């Protein structure tokens, strides 16, 4: 939350999306956004975290792939990024942590 609060300006929030691709079939995409779309889920159902003014918004299609997930900020020597560190919908992920396959 601390890093999100540091980089978000005004009404910006962190958007988490799931797209097809990556080495495991699906990949996470993070971006800062200010526009709430009609298919976004907020409140208890779509926002993964709301604390100290920090918000994470997920669209309805992506929510099915990340429901119950935990987002964290990771800072390493070669990169710093937001990551999904725990996803109960994922069967396995790649070593880079950005792609995953879905449980069926």
Give me the pLDDT at residue 15, please. 92
Check which CATH number belongs to the domain holding 56 and give it: 2.60.300.12
Contact 2, 80 (CB under 8 A): no
Which domain does 41 fall in, by range? Answer: 1-102
User: Which pTM was predicted?
Assistant: 0.79
Q: What's the total number of domains in the chain? A: 1
CA dihedral 60, 67, 100, 37 (to 10 degrees): 20
Give me the pLDDT at residue 46, please. 47
Is a pLDDT exceeding 60 seen at residue 61?
Answer: yes
Instruction: Please write the tens of the pLDDT for every residue from 5-33.
Output: 788 888 888 899 999 988 888 999 999 99
Mean of per-residue pLDDT scores for the chain: 80
Instruction: Please write the tens of the pLDDT for every residue from 34-52.
Output: 998 888 876 554 445 555 6
């Amino acid at each position: 939350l601390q890093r999100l609060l540091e980089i978000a300006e005004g009404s910006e929030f962190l958007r988490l999306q799931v797209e097809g691709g990556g080495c495991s079939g699906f990949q996470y995409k993070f971006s800062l956004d200010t526009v709430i779309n009609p298919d976004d889920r907020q409140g208890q159902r779509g926002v993964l975290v709301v604390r100290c003014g920090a918000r994470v918004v997920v669209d309805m299609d992506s929510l099915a792939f990340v429901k119950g997930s935990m987002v964290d900020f990771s800072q390493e020597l070669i990169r710093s990024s937001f990551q999904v560190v725990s996803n109960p919908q994922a069967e396995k992920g790649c070593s880079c942590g950005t792609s995953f396959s879905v449980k069926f």
